[in-house]
Structures are given as C-alpha cells and as structure tokens.
C-alpha cells in the first residue's frame, strides 16, 4: 500500500496499491487493479492454444497467475507493461508441458 495519490486509470485521488515504475509512474487504486486483473484473467480463459510440440488443441491450462507487474521495469521498445499473465499449459496427447507469458501493453496511443 502506497500513500494516497491519483490513480492513473480512473483518475480518482485515493489509496494506491500498485505502482509500475515508468515516466511518469503508472498508479493503480484497488478497484482499477482488480478490474485489470479480472479482465486479463477472464480473456485468458477464452484463449485457445495449440501444443507447441505436436500441434494438438487438447490443452489443459494450469497455474494461471495474473498481476500488476510492479517489481520489474519492463521496457520493451520503450513500452511499459503493467499487467501480466503467466500460465502452465499441458498437452493431453503428447504430455508436453510449456508456459505462456502475456504482457499487456495497454491501448495503443500512437
Ligand atoms: Zn483507479
Ligand atoms: Zn502435444
């Protein structure tokens, strides 16, 4: 929990629970953080994957973790990544296990 400040998403002056280091910093209040995480989680569940080893679509998703990426300064082509999802996927047909890592850059501004 950080001091009260202006949430970068909703603009309300309230308690900040997550801060992504950037210029300027991206600040999230609890409501906005919950909403971002819920959105990515919901849409991740809708995504279809194929096994990267055998091409099968019989994939089981496990260990989904979604959060605000506070700790790491993620600079990919100068774009800051605020929300991430990591999951373990297992192929039912060939038993291969692999991971996917989603980094949400937010809406395109240019
Ligand atoms: Zn907010
Ligand atoms: Zn497979």
Query: What was the pLDDT predicted at 109?
Result: 60
Ligand number nearest CA of 5 is: 1
Taking residues 67-77, what's their average pLDDT?
64
Residue 110 inside a domain? The answer is no
Residue 17 inside a domain? The answer is yes
Residue 109 inside a domain? The answer is no
Domain count, the chain: 1
CB neighbours of residue 62 within 10 Å: 11
Q: Which residue has the higher pLDDT, 108 or 89?
A: 89
Residue 63 inside a domain? The answer is yes
Which residue's structure tokens are 């300064």?
73
- Reading the block at residue 103, the tokens are 């980094």
- Cα(51) to ligand 2 centroid in Å equals 5
Which residue's structure tokens are 């309230």?
14
Query: Over the stretch 9-66, which tens digit does the pLDDT of each residue have?
Result: 999 999 999 888 777 788 999 999 999 999 999 999 999 999 999 999 999 999 999 9
Residue 51 inside a domain? The answer is yes
Please, are residues 16 and 28 in contact by the beta-carbon 8 Å criterion? yes
- The domain of 21 spans 4-104
Please, are residues 53 and 91 in contact by the beta-carbon 8 Å criterion? yes
* CA 36/CA 30 separation, integer angstroms: 10
**Near ion ligand 1, which residues have CB within 5 Å?**
7, 9-10, 29, 32
């Amino acid at each position: 929990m950080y001091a009260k400040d202006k949430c970068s998403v909703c603009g309300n002056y309230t308690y900040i629970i997550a801060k992504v280091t950037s210029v300027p910093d991206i600040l999230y209040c609890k409501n906005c953080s919950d909403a971002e995480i819920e959105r990515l989680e919901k849409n991740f569940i809708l995504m279809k994957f194929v096994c990267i080893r055998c091409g099968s679509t019989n994939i089981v998703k496990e260990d989904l973790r979604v959060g605000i990426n506070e700790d790491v300064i993620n600079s990919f082509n100068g774009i800051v990544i605020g929300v991430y999802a990591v999951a373990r996927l297992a192929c039912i047909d060939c038993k291969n296990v692999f991971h996917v890592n989603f980094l949400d850059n937010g809406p395109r501004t240019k």
